[in-house]
Structure 1
């Protein structure tokens, strides 16, 4: 299959794709080509979620908590995607300007996200200042330590012989 034009590339280089199926139709091969090109978008999304949004930074003990953390990261990423039309492009000196204002990357939206609050209506009053609670008195021991789950094999019980 020969590709005449790829968006953003004037002279595309040959792309070699291998599939173990025989007798593929042109539409199936085109779908494989599109999936191969989209893999970079997916890899960059995972890298952004891990490095910038801290997807793997949390040390969670419960699988349900890990699921909630994943959904929280997805919600944060969605907010960044939805706010890209309302933020300004705060680019670094070495970065090129964005081609269109509504097509900012999530990293650039994150940079301008703090200035977005002044543009939005404030439905609630500012929170009251408070003092933190007393906490555990100094010198006392923790009566409820976090549960630890051993990883690996359990020790064999000793047999009396």
Structure 2
């Protein structure tokens, strides 16, 4: 029990450290983007919320009614989070580009294996679906921020090799 609590505490501490690193980098970055990116992210957040509500057997209308909000008010409430997510995504993308971070076929294969291991049934069908070019690209997009965050942790922790220093 104590080792699982220790692992949980370590995981929470690592996630907190990663968030602080990303926030620090994002604060220093000057990021400009069209407002439509925030609107697209708000749509994504609403879709995520709707899926969650459906799993609970609730509708968006019920949710809005329980909060005394309109959909437009909810969208406005989500604007700040959406802006942070867009900024984070753009910053991580730029860092990945600057650090020349790439996802190898082996990393994609490893992620597919993790997905297959957690699948309850029809693993052959799932493997066929996950190995399509479109799915592999999607997995690469999933892995890129993780690998970029891992690189930021290495840099922040001082264990990075080949740290790039910007000349002024």
Q: How does the TM-score come out when normalised to structure 1?
A: 0.30
Q: How does the TM-score come out when normalised to structure 2?
A: 0.29
Task: With a CA cutoff of 8 Å and minimum separation of 6, indicate the structure with the bigger relative contact order.
Answer: 2
Larger radius of gyration between Structure 1 and Structure 2: 1
